[in-house]
Amino acid sequence: MDIKWICAVTIILAWFCRASSAHQTSVEPPRNLQIIDPGLLGHLYIEWQPPPFLLTLDQCTIKYKLKYRSTGDADWKVVFTKKLKYGDGFDLSKRTEAKVQTLLEGRCTNESEVKSDWTHTTFQVPSQGELESQIRDFHCVYYNWEHLTCTWQLGQLAPAGARYELYYWYEGLDHTVQCSDYIQTHGRNTGCNLQNLRQAEYIDFNVCVNGSSESTQLRPSYFTFRLQNLVKPSPPEKLSVSISAYEEVHMEWSPPAGGTPPHCLDYEVQLTEHDGDADAPWTSVSTQVETTFTFSQANRSRVSCVRVRGKTNMFCASKGFWSEWTRKCFYVSRKDEKQLFILIAVALSFLTVIIIFIFAAQCKKSVLGKFHAPVGC
């Protein structure tokens, strides 16, 4: 038998055996998948246990593919991990679903990846109270990176004696914390002020506004956000304006004092030119990480106004609120007015010279008349 043919048959048989072995290798899905609510206002843990046979399996890499989402989300969040537990924030007003599978790869699978079937589970907080009893128009602003203010309106079906309370939690706290500085309207809580939250920036901030009433149950509301995306900085400071001989408007300002990092701000600069018209359009220009700007006036008006405001930029947050405007108005005379003023000044000067000459001539004539007058008897 030809040696080359024998070698070829041996290689083919070896490949077939390896492929057959890989095909026969299978792996079971994880066991006891569950979603656990530790009472942290939406921060849930997804836990599972490995398949039993993996405890005796060696020479292979074992990891898990986890997918999870809330009801209504179009896409799944996907995580690859070797751990048996994973935590994330969820909206507790919605149903949460998760699924996990085992991934096996290594010498035990001839270096090919083997996947198990999926294991599924769901979780939902039991509903309580009517939907119209929960708060409305919940809104939070993180002012100047220093204090958070959240406000809301009472539920449409909230009874007269209903009382709403705000609780919050973020990673680093041992337990949920209740608001200690409520905003009240007609004696009822409609907002909350929170201080000293720098350690909560750039992580999930979980909030629950729950209600209590003697007559009926009230439905709680859950929110998860990040503080840096709610920043409203203070207005820029020390705005000054100067005008060059070419009527260029030069503006300078300083970043606001307080907690806002200066490198986190973009600015919007606007100028309007009008003759007392409050509805005149504004020319707007955005500028990044600067505190100076120069406008070239397209029209020469008597009165002009400039204003500037700041907002957290893309390097520090994905969104935010504009500050209030810092505004300053000033007077710029028209060129035709300047020319008229110069013409009047020249005319007055020329007229003054003529009057002086006439007056001098009259004086000279008067003096000469007296000198040549006849002497009386």
- β-bridge partners, 77: 68
Per-residue pLDDT of the chain (377 residues; tens, 9 = 90+): 455 544 544 444 444 444 444 444 678 899 999 999 999 999 999 999 998 876 556 678 889 999 999 988 989 999 999 999 999 999 898 999 999 999 988 877 777 888 999 999 999 998 888 888 899 999 999 999 999 999 999 999 888 888 999 999 999 999 999 999 999 999 999 999 999 999 999 999 999 999 888 888 899 999 999 999 999 999 999 888 887 766 678 888 999 988 889 999 999 988 887 655 566 788 888 887 678 878 775 555 556 788 899 999 999 999 999 999 988 776 655 444 444 444 555 556 667 767 776 766 676 666 555 545 444 43
Instruction: Record the tokens describing residue 135, joined without a space.
Output: 């708060």
How far apart (Å, rounded) are the C-alpha atoms in residues 230 and 140?
Answer: 7
Q: What CA–CA distance (Å, rounded) separates 320 from 196?
A: 19
What per-residue confidence (pLDDT) applies to 363?
A: 67
User: What phi, psi does 200 have (nearest 5°)?
Assistant: -95, 0
Using left for φ > 0, alpha for ψ between -120 and 50, and beta otherwise, residue 96 falls in: beta
Give residue 179's identity as a one-letter amino acid code.
C
What single-letter DSSP state applies at residue 32?
Answer: E
* Separation between Cα atoms, residue 178 and residue 291, nearest integer Å: 40
Give the E-state strand segments of 173-274 in sequence order.
177-178, 182-185, 188-195, 205-212, 221-225, 231-232, 237-243, 248-254, 265-274
Helix (H) or strand (E) holding 120: strand 119-123
228 by DSSP, 3-state: which? helix
- From residue 313, give the alpha-carbon distance in Å to each of 30, 149, 287, 310, 320: 44, 21, 11, 9, 8
What domains sit in the chain, N to C, each tagged with a CATH number? Answer: 26-123 (2.60.40.10), 131-231 (2.60.40.10), 234-335 (2.60.40.10)
- Quick one: CA dihedral 283, 288, 290, 296, positive or negative? negative
Task: Look at phi and psi of residue 330 and say left if phi exceeds 0, alpha if psi is from -120 to 50, else beta.
Answer: beta
Its pTM stands at 0.74
Report phi then psi at 224, rounded to 5. -130, 125
DSSP character at residue 127: P
Question: 150 phi and psi, to 5 degrees?
Answer: -115, 135
As a whole number of angstroms, the distance between CA 83 and CA 62 comes to 10
263, 264, 268, 269: CA torsion to nearest 10: -20
**Contact between 60 and 82 (Cβ < 8 Å):** no
Amino acid at 25: T
**Helices and strands (H, E) in the chain, number of each type:** 2, 24
Residue by residue, DSSP assigns 86-149 as: EEEE--TTS-EEEEEEEEEEEGGGTT--EE---EEEEE-PPP-SBGGGS-EEEEEEEETTTEEE
Where do we find the tokens 């055996």?
A: 17
Q: What is the rounded distance in angstroms from the CA atom of residue 103 to the CA atom of residue 80?
A: 9
* CA dist., res. 120 & res. 244, Å (int): 71
Residue identified by tokens 């914390």 is: 177
